Structure 1
Amino acid sequence: MSRVGASRVDLARGSLAAFAGDTMIGYMKIRYKPTAAEVHRVFLDGGVHPDHRRRGIGTALVEAGVAAAKVLHARHHPGLRLAVDVHRPEHIAGLAELMRSQGFAPVRFFRRMERPLGDVAPVNARIEPWSEETDEDFRRVRNAAFADCWGAVPMPPDMWRNKIVNQTFRPEVSFLHRDAAGVPVGLLVTLSWDADTEATGVRDAHFMIVGTLPEHRRRGIATALLAHASSAAKERGYDRASLVVDSASPSGASGVFERAGFVPKAPYVRWALEA
């Protein structure tokens, strides 16, 4: 095994790859949060090539990931409780068995939803695209809109730039909604991965963030943003829109997305280990 690099991680302490000869067959990557309250939730990402599963590689990578999470937690948030999270599709063979064998338990359930980009009605609303000048409005609305959501923490400017406004960000399909007084009250942020398009032949506009300030919910703001962004995505050659929703979202997001034409697809499970 050898180290593998990726942005947004402590490369020396939080990444590992497994090789068969010169071919990488598995990896793990840790993402820790620069800000946290009460519980520091560290994300453990990774996978093993299907041809090399059931050989103990996944177990070794998970064990290494948990150990790395403890090291990074001790460096950044030693006074808080640590939870190691794994967020993966439910259908992966052997995943549930592996997670339970390492002490993880399912704590939350999510669903990927998709809609084809057919005819989308234009929207008459105070919606504007992302720009350098409105970037801070986007970040502030995101933090306020997700303050009551499970596992969410405020994003400081550096984390926002690192995680959201990066090479996968699509500013031309990301929008801010203002009320009649010009105050920003909702947002939609789109990401897209060129590698996925190349592998699948489907150009997907992934609505990574859809949020409305709590005091402005149930006024059609999210619906307007979804319609506006779907129309913009279609005009720019995207084939499909997608998003992931928390099944227990306090905003009732699942119903909003279904009414906007999104259909439930792959379920995801959030596994957690209180370490």
Structure 2
Amino acid sequence: MTVELQNLVWRPLAVSDGAAMADLLNAIDAEDHVWGQYTVEDATEELDSPVDDLPTTTLAVFDGATMLGFSAVHYKPTAEIVHRVQAAGAVRPSHRRLGLGTKLMQHGLATAETLHALHHPTLRLIVESIYGEHVQGAVALYRAAGMTATNWVRHMRHPLGAAIPDAPVPDGLQFERYTTATDEEFRAVRNEAVQDDPGRSQLSVEEWKVWAVNASFRPRLSFLLRDVKTGTAAGVVLVVSWEAETATTGVRDAYFRIIATRPAYTERGVTEALMSHTLRAAHNQGYGRASLRVDADASSKELATFERAGFVTQDTQVHYCVQL
């Protein structure tokens, strides 16, 4: 193996690496169960993101045409006070414990510092990585890099069918299905809902297109609750679904990418109504389950709301951070 490692090719990712990236991500998920399956189109779309500059933010290692691992760093264009940079990456299970992960992690941390100096040099820099808490090799790698666990996120699933709650629509509000005309309202509600959350930054128009309304987006399962009297969008839910995951599991999953309520409308049952309406729509459209991710803090109001609605925890991911 040592001789083979000497012949590996290290270079930045390119949009043309979609097939190799999908193969790598699927091999990793088959072992670690961390992010679901990818089609070549899914991977290519992520690589073709207008908010990432692949030559300066990524590094991949190849054995011939086979990608063995990658590092990808994502900075926040709209950061304030704290600049949270996400350093993502992983190594093919068959090539772990050979030093590849350490080199990719070093790339991620160094690139985060470079991007920070270019874009937000006056802010405080925190580098964050997210992975399954059950993958001991990843945990060891983060700790060796000086990163510590700061919070946990639960991956939850809902079986649909008879388990769907029947929540009333709050007085004075009415449902609308997503349209391109209301797209900006969806983004605005999401951004306003997280404005006081230090762990989540505002999404620019470009980031929104990459992260939310991409090829996996399902507009027929995405809804807005509008205040009839004022015309204000009170809350939104945005759903995505991955074809590769359906092909692998045989189950169509409606993933709640966003469920958000404007602060002025909290405590009025907006979240419960959005959830109930969307779960029922997913069931009626032939989906086999729904899923989402939420902070794992037992005192979280969101977690309690989702549990009452019938969502059950499947696994937990950990956020590892280091201040540089």
TM-score by length of 1: 0.94
Counterpart of 1:161 (choices 209, 212, 224) is 209
**Which letter does structure 2 place at the counterpart of 1:143?**
N
TM-score by length of 2: 0.80
What secondary structure, in the 3-state scheme, does the structure 2 residue paired with 1:198 have? helix
- The CA deviation at 1:225 is 0.5
Q: Tell me if the contact between 1:149 and 1:249 (Cα under 8 Å) persists in the aligned partners.
A: no
1:221-260 to 2 correspondence within 5 Å?
221-248=270-297, 252-260=301-309
Q: Distance in 2 between matches of 1:152 and 1:250?
A: 19
Which residue does 2:134 correspond to in 1? 91
Q: Distance in 2 between matches of 1:212 and 1:249?
A: 21
Q: Tell me if the contact between 1:149 and 1:250 (Cα under 8 Å) persists in the aligned partners.
A: no
- The CA deviation at 1:183 is 2.0
Q: Distance in 1 between matches of 2:297 and 2:55?
A: 36
Q: Distance in 1 between matches of 2:257 and 2:137?
A: 28
**Which letter does structure 2 place at the counterpart of 1:2?**
R
Which residue does 2:80 correspond to in 1? 37
Q: Which portions of structure 1, spanning 4 or more consecutive aligned residues, are displaced by more than 6 angstroms?
A: none
Q: Deviations over 1:43-92 (max 9, x none)?
A: 11111111111111111111111111112112211221211110111111
Q: Distance in 2 between matches of 1:209 and 1:235?
A: 20
Which residue does 1:2 correspond to in 2? 11
Q: Distance in 1 between matches of 2:109 and 2:294?
A: 26
Q: Tell me if the contact between 2:165 and 2:309 (Cα under 8 Å) persists in the aligned partners.
A: no
**Which letter does structure 2 place at the counterpart of 1:184?**
A
Q: Distance in 2 between matches of 1:262 and 1:150?
A: 26
Q: Tell me if the contact between 2:189 and 2:236 (Cα under 8 Å) persists in the aligned partners.
A: yes
**Which letter does structure 2 place at the counterpart of 1:149?**
D
What secondary structure, in the 3-state scheme, does the structure 1 residue paired with 2:56 have? coil
What secondary structure, in the 3-state scheme, does the structure 1 residue paired with 2:112 have? helix
Which residue does 1:147 correspond to in 2? 195
Q: Tell me if the contact between 1:187 and 1:210 (Cα under 8 Å) persists in the aligned partners.
A: yes
Alignment RMSD: 1.8
Q: Distance in 2 between matches of 1:259 and 1:88?
A: 26
Report whether the alignment pairs 1:216 with 2:216: no
Q: Deviations over 1:162-201 (max 9, x none)?
A: 3211112111111111234232111111112222222332
Which residue does 1:134 correspond to in 2? 182
What secondary structure, in the 3-state scheme, does the structure 1 residue paired with 2:161 have? coil
Counterpart of 1:197 (choices 238, 243, 246) is 246
Which structure 1 residue ranges, 5 or more long, are not aligned?
none
Cα separation, partners in 2 of 1:121 and 1:38, compared to 1, 3 Å:
closer
More helix per residue: 1 or 2?
2
Which residue does 1:176 correspond to in 2? 224
- The CA deviation at 1:93 is 2.8
Which structure 2 residue ranges, 5 or more long, are not aligned?
1-9, 15-46
Q: Distance in 2 between matches of 1:248 and 1:161?
A: 30
**Which letter does structure 1 place at the counterpart of 2:203?**
M
Which residue does 1:66 correspond to in 2? 109
